[in-house]
DNA sequence: TTAGGGTTAG
């Protein structure tokens, strides 16, 4: 039952990779007689998280077959390591091979677009999501809100925010920050109040936007009060 | 919870 062995070995590889021990993961990986796509994907992601882009690339380029998770993991590897141009290049490669992105791929790519200010590609992916009936979940939603805001399209950013059914802290933070950096301090603070009324607990990212909005409004005391509550 | 990928900032 080789597939069963591969499953058990991959579980061990994964447990090392999860804690960042890629040396131990690698020893097991090299000793394995039967590897499957999951084994390769686990290794690539493990290297990506440690910032070892070269090792991730090497495995990605040498793996026998790739699935959508392999592609997304490699795109995210570049993105996590601030190589956003490379992330989009891999996404392009993937599309050229006729492989369709899923929700996870799209959230990752939209985030890379935000960092690069790549509004056209971001819009294209947004359209693709709408036209293909993909679920606009909190990952894609917050990535879109952030991407539009960073690309200077605050109207589109807020449109996505208000149309989004379920919003988590990431969605709220992205919208509040978008308002704050575009100088809409009053609106950012109003949105922060609405977030509190909806029982979403703020974090340090929220704090940065609220603080800058309060500063713009000359309300530094309010900022301190908000975060002591 | 049961082998693998995703969102804000820094």
Q: Which CATH superfamily is domain A6-166 in?
A: Tetratricopeptide repeat domain (1.25.40.10)
Alpha-carbon gap, residue A217 to A59, rounded angstroms:
52
What pLDDT, in 10s, does the model give residues A175-191?
999 999 999 999 999 99
| Angle, in degrees to the nearest 10, between helices A204-217 and A220-228 | 150
Displacement of CA A12 from its chain's centroid (Å): 26
CA of A99 to C1' of B5 (A): 15
Mean pLDDT of chain A: 95
* Nearest C-alpha neighbor of A222 from the set A38, A74, A114, A212: A212
CB neighbours of residue A176 within 10 Å? 29
Q: Which of residues 111-170 of A touch strand B (CB under 7 A)?
A: 111, 114-115, 137-143, 146, 150, 168-170
Cβ–Cβ under 8 Å, residues A143 and A107: yes
| A1 confidence band (pLDDT: 50, 70, 90) | low
What pLDDT, in 10s, does the model give residues A81-92?
999 999 999 999
The length of chain A is: 229
Nucleotide closest to A73 measured between CA and C1': B5
A117-145 mean pLDDT: 97
* Residue A164: per-residue pLDDT: 97
Q: Is the CB of A207 under 7 A from strand B?
A: no
Cβ–Cβ under 8 Å, residues A147 and A110: yes
Half-sphere exposure of A13 (CA within 13 A, CB side): 27
* Residue A220: per-residue pLDDT: 73
Nucleotide closest to A135 measured between CA and C1': B6
* Residue A141: per-residue pLDDT: 98
Alpha-carbon gap, residue A16 to A101, rounded angstroms:
28
A19-30 mean pLDDT: 97
Domain range summary for chain A, segments of one domain joined by + = 6-166, 167-229
Alpha-carbon gap, residue A143 to A164, rounded angstroms:
12
Helices (H) and strands (E) in chain A, counts: 14, 0
Cβ–Cβ under 8 Å, residues A25 and A18: no
CB neighbours of residue A9 within 10 Å? 19
Q: Is the CB of A15 under 7 A from strand B?
A: no
Q: Which of residues 163-202 of A touch strand B (CB under 7 A)?
A: 168-171, 173-174, 177
CA of A13 to C1' of B3 (A): 8
CA of A211 to C1' of B5 (A): 34
């Amino acid at each position: 039952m080789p597939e069963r062995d591969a499953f058990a070995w991959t579980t061990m590889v994964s447990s090392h990779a999860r804690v960042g021990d890629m040396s131990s993961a690698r020893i097991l990986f090299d000793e394995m007689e039967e590897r499957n796509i999951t084994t390769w994907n686990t290794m690539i992601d493990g290297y990506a998280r440690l910032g070892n882009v070269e090792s991730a690339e090497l495995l990605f380029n040498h793996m026998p077959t790739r699935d959508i998770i392999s592609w997304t993991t490699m795109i995210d590897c570049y993105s996590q390591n601030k190589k956003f141009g490379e992330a989009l290049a891999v996404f392009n490669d993937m599309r050229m091979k006729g492989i369709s992105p899923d929700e996870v791929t799209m959230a990752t790519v939209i985030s890379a677009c935000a960092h690069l200010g790549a509004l056209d590609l971001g819009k294209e992916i947004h359209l693709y999501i709408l036209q293909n009936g993909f679920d606009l979940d909190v990952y894609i939603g917050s990535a879109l809100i952030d991407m539009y805001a960073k690309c200077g399209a605050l109207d589109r950013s807020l449109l996505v925010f208000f149309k989004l059914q379920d919003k988590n802290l990431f969605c709220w933070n992205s919208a509040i920050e978008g308002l704050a950096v575009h100088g809409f301090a009053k609106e950012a603070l109003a949105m922060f109040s609405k977030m509190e009324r909806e029982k979403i607990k703020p974090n340090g990212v929220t704090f940065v936007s609220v603080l800058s909005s309060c500063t713009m409004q000359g309300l530094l005391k309010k900022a301190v009060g908000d975060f002591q509550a």
